Chains A and B, each alone.
Chain A
Amino acid sequence: MSAGALAIRGGSLADGTRADVVIIDGVVAAIAENAEIPLDAAVLDASGCIVGPGLVDLHAHLREPGNEAAETVETGSRAAALGGYTAVVAMPNTTPTIDSASVVNLVRQLGERAGLVDVYPAGAITIGREGRQMAPLAEMAALGVRLFTDDGSGVQDNRLMRRALEYASALGVTLAQHCEDSSLSEGGVMHEGAWSSKLGLPGQPAEAEELMVARDIALCRRIGSPVHFLHVSTAGSVELVRRAKADGLPVTAEAAPHHFTLTDACLANYDTVFKVHPPLRTEADRTAVQQGLLDSTIDAIATDHAPHTPETKERSMLDAPPGMLGLETALALALTELSLPMPRLFAVMSSGPARIAQIAERHGELGIGRAANVCVIDPSERWEVDSRKLASKARNTPYAGRVLQGRVRHTVRNGVATVKNGQAQR
């Protein structure tokens, strides 16, 4: 589809300078105040808005193939576009698992067909995410997969993780770990602490996460192959990553919005919408994650968007699946709850994750001559999260009823508006 000419007029860049952005045939042609706009250009009004690079999510569960009742690549892509995203890394815990070239191709095609965001499948580290045998990393890397993870669980076996990192080091890919030592976390449905003790729910101690972070840092130190830490949630994990970075190790980390906005106290009424892995932690952990985002210990905000049907969430705290929606609220939560300067906001929501996903050629930066992936944010719009109005198929947002400040006005992917005035275009 030819994009033609598109102009985003009247906004400001992240650094505050006023600029119009002119896009021709999917490429940014001009960024300047009062830029010359071609007569045939479609115009998006950005007055009062911040114009930045399209957001990049390192961590979304799009559920297709296998659980299309909860989400499809199309509905997840729509949610992403509405959230300001132009690129999404799709987690491999589908059915079948993304652990072979054919499933990589399938998810990629579904993404192209939906046509709302660039969908980059992540591959599994082990076959079926079972933690026993390495998946064909080279076969998937040859197709362009750059991020591998068994997300949903961590690779438990030390030797297997060592071998996978060694094998990956020749492929130029990154292994991303869901850090959770299952022997310590098994059966735990929330953070282990004062609240789990009061509520009588089995807990997962912080150390279940931190031990695996520490192990992978040790392996990374030895092997030198990059490691990305998914959804770090404890103060201890943040500190381990901080020290590893100070030592110059090639480690990166992401944090999920719920870990910098919510705590384990949210579970007081046993609402399963707050059940998530890693679990909501203490106030001290929440603050540490925020600090990590401020001081660049944490490189990215990643949604861990995890749709579940109402029926599955209407089970008990022990039986309900973990996970919550994130794509449509992440940006507004970051704007509302974090006091990040705008350039830092785009660093953690766009350029940082784009670098980790190795898609920085197309995403993460707004610049002349680059692919036109753009996000236009109205920072003053206040809106109430209404779970019934989400584009996602599922309804399991923990923020229903919350008033947030800042909303996506337009999203442009590859020169085409996927969202105009807050409405998805397909």
Chain B
Amino acid sequence: MTARHLLDIESLGRDGLDHLLTLTDRFVEVSQRRVPKVPVLQGKTVVSLFYEDSTRTRLSFETAARRLSADVMTFSVSTSSANKGESIRDTVETIEAMGIDAIVVRHKAAGVPWQIAGWTGASVVNGGDGWHQHPTQALLDCYTIRQRLGGLEGRAIAIVGDAKHSRVARSNVDAFTALGADVTLVAPPTLLPASLDAWPVKVEHDLDAVLQRVDVVYLLRMQLERQEAGLVPSLREYSTFYGLTDERARTLRDDVLVMHPGPMNRGVEIGATVPDRPNTVITQQVANGVAVRMAVLFDLLAGGVL
């Protein structure tokens, strides 16, 4: 049997998403136990292969693997040592020789998880590839919305900010729309993908108008380098027109969820006090991340059978 992978949201489809979200319920329950650990992946080895630093995602995956009783190997390749001399394939073959069952991969380049899936017999989990996909982030976001709002069907969601350079935006657009939500991207045109022809989304530039009719505001991280690259005149101007400032947040209905994949730039895309608002669910997203990743690893490595 060929290994199964989690590379993107598209190939999961609605059924795959529903299945993993339902499975997540059980691991949320496990996470709340006094000893939050089950022996379902005993003897399995999960490697985290991070070519790009992301301590929070790596820790979330490793915690998930440990709570399933899998052995965990960390292969941290700092940007500097991932020098251009070594091929990714050589690295993967070396790791595989140690006997492993799954590789969680993070890379600055889109597509690397697909390349690795072609070179290994282990299951590959995409932990974020460039601007492309971050499927476990999308799963945990969907799970969080489902927890708070009961579901995504018919919900209006605004994804605000730098969608062009965002794997979170790409995977969340796919996941939210697959589950029946109505998605609007809000960003200056310089921060939108070159072509949105095939995207099932609306695009707007007036954040204030959009905020009046949404159930969820999903903020994307705004990086300083976008200003340096001349995509926006300044972070200040970005914040003024596209940030969920404290003032803007006060215009939201109380039940509107505010979400962010982290790490936040308080004062840029999100006002300093917005994270403390009752229906800002950023820490809940992080908590659900571990359970979602348990569901993913369990599904891939134990065939989904308890």
Contact = CB atoms under 8 A, between A and B. Distances in A.
Contacts of B54: none
A201 B195 contact: no
Given A315-B84, A319-B84, A197 B110 contact: no
A193 B195 contact: yes
Interface string A188-206: 0000111011111111010
A269 B87 contact: no
A383 interface: no
Interface in A198-248: 198-203, 205
Contacts of B197: 194
Nearest to A270: B111
Contacts, number: 73
A270 B114 contact: yes
Contacts of A40: none
B88 A197 contact: no
Chain B residues touching A, majority SS: loop
B194 interface: yes
Contacts of B109: 316-319
A316 B194 contact: no
A200 B89 contact: no
A264 to B, nearest CB: 11
Contact of B198 (A194, A201, A314, A315): A194
Interface string B103-141: 000011111101100000000000001111100000000
Given A201-B130, A316-B109, A193 B87 contact: no
A203 B194 contact: yes
Contacts of B130: 200-201, 318
B230 to A, nearest CB: 11
A204 to B, nearest CB: 10
B110 A201 contact: yes
Contact of A196 (B112, B133, B194): B194
B196 interface: yes
Contacts of B194: 192-193, 196-197, 203, 205
Interface residues of A, number: 24
B108 to A, nearest CB: 7
A152 B88 CA distance: 25
A311 interface: yes
B193 interface: yes
A202 B132 CA distance: 10
Contacts of A197: 193-196, 198-199
Contact of B87 (A201, A205, A314): A314
B5 interface: no
A193 B197 CA distance: 9
A336 B84 CA distance: 38
A198 B201 CA distance: 13
B167 interface: yes
A138 B207 CA distance: 61
Contact of A200 (B88, B170, B195): B170
B131 A200 contact: yes
Nearest to B92: A314
Contacts of B89: 314
Interface centre among A202, A271, A315 (most CB of B within 10 A): A315
A192 B130 CA distance: 16
A201 B84 contact: no
B199 to A, nearest CB: 8
Contacts of B199: 197
Contacts of A205: 194
Interface of A: 192-194, 196-203, 205, 269-272, 311-312, 314-319
23 contacts: A193-B194, A194-B195, A194-B197, A197-B194, A197-B196, A197-B198, A200-B129, A200-B170, A201-B110, A201-B130, A201-B131, A202-B131, A269-B114, A270-B110, A312-B87, A314-B87, A314-B115, A315-B84, A316-B88, A317-B109, A317-B111, A318-B108, A319-B84
Interface of B: 84, 87-90, 107-112, 114-115, 129-133, 167, 170, 193-199
Given A198-B170, A201-B131, A270-B114, 8 more contacts: A193-B195, A194-B198, A201-B130, A269-B111, A311-B90, A315-B87, A316-B107, A316-B111
